[in-house]
Amino acid sequence: MTSLQPLLAPDLPAGHWALFLDIDGTLLEHAAHPDAVSVSDELRTLLGTIEHRLDGAVAFITGRSVEAADRLFHPLKLRVAGLYGLEHRLTPDGPVEVADAPADIAALADAIEAELNDAQVYIERKGSILAIHTRAAPHLLARATHLVEQALAQLPKGYRVIPGNAGVELMPLEAAKGAAVRRFMAIPSFASRRPVFLGDDTADENGFEAINEAGGISIRVKPRGPTAAKYVLDDVTGAIGWLEANFEKSPVS
């Protein structure tokens, strides 16, 4: 992570851009339960307009599954890296590479759910990723994090713990937003373009690093503490406004 103070996200000059977007906390405000959010018609229209103006060089890079992202933004379909890159759909109407759901992660989810025993904590099972949401019970975040870190020693090698602002996730090492960005940048629709990535949480830091390596524009929404992002935006409303100003009406190609 950078030790330099990030700057307010700038206006972009005209150019060949590729846009990568986190969803929760970036385009949508967080909710106590992931299914409690909704997408406005205005946001769908904005993203559809941007996708058209960038000739398809737009992708969600999200912790949600591809199926969940599609359901949320229906009828709009974009390219997606779901589950932090464990799932991919490289074209809007193409096939989805689906991640497996290991039995040891499913058993661990059951055990942690029984240990916490609180209806306000949501245990989300996402294939080989386990997410514990404590937004509705912030006093249990430390306990949930401890349980996941303790469980890490009992799992096969190849997993890591990612603490978040209001929860904690356990995921394979290969689940990395930076790797997802690099995969998209290797396909023709993105390859000749300069990448931009908007994210808001710890899991997005790996993506910011990949964007910086590519000479792109990395932006963290609602920053808390050090970040690898070179630029910041204050909140979701600011992120939507920045996208409108830079990709809806300005000269991009």
Go through the chain and tell me how many residues it has. Answer: 253
pLDDT digits (tens, 9 = 90+) for 125-140: 888 889 999 989 999 9
The pairing of beta strand 159-163 with beta strand 167-172: antiparallel
The pairing of beta strand 79-82 with beta strand 87-89: antiparallel
Distance CA 92, CA 106 (A): 30
Say what percent of the chain tops pLDDT 70: 95
pLDDT digits (tens, 9 = 90+) for 73-129: 999 999 999 999 989 999 999 999 887 667 778 888 899 999 998 889 999 888 888
Average pLDDT of the segment spanning 159-175: 87
Q: How confident is the model at residue 247 (pLDDT cuts 50, 70, 90)?
A: very high
- 151 burial (CB, 10 Å; 0-12 / 13-18 / 19+) is buried
The one catalytic residue among 11, 22, 200, 201: 22
Annotated domain spans of the chain: 7-98+175-248, 103-172
Please name the residue that has the structure tokens 């303790």. Answer: 150
Q: How confident is the model at residue 64 (pLDDT cuts 50, 70, 90)?
A: very high
* pLDDT at residue 1, rounded to an integer: 53
Q: In the predicted model, what is the mean pLDDT of the chain?
A: 90
Q: How far is CA 136 from CA 27, 28, 120, 151, 226, in A?
A: 20, 17, 6, 23, 25
Q: How confident is the model at residue 4 (pLDDT cuts 50, 70, 90)?
A: low
Q: Mark whether 118 is an active-site residue.
A: no
Q: How confident is the model at residue 165 (pLDDT cuts 50, 70, 90)?
A: confident
* pLDDT beyond 80 at 29: yes
For 32, residues 6+ apart whose C-beta sits below 8 A from its C-beta are: 120, 122, 133, 135, 136
Say what percent of the chain tops pLDDT 90: 65
* pLDDT at residue 164, rounded to an integer: 83
Q: How confident is the model at residue 35 (pLDDT cuts 50, 70, 90)?
A: confident
Does 7-98+175-248 carry CATH code 2.40.30.260?
A: no
CATH code, residues 103-172? 3.30.1360
* pLDDT beyond 60 at 3: no
Nearest to 62 by CA among 106, 17, 28: 28
Q: How confident is the model at residue 152 (pLDDT cuts 50, 70, 90)?
A: confident
Distance CA 179, CA 83 (A): 12
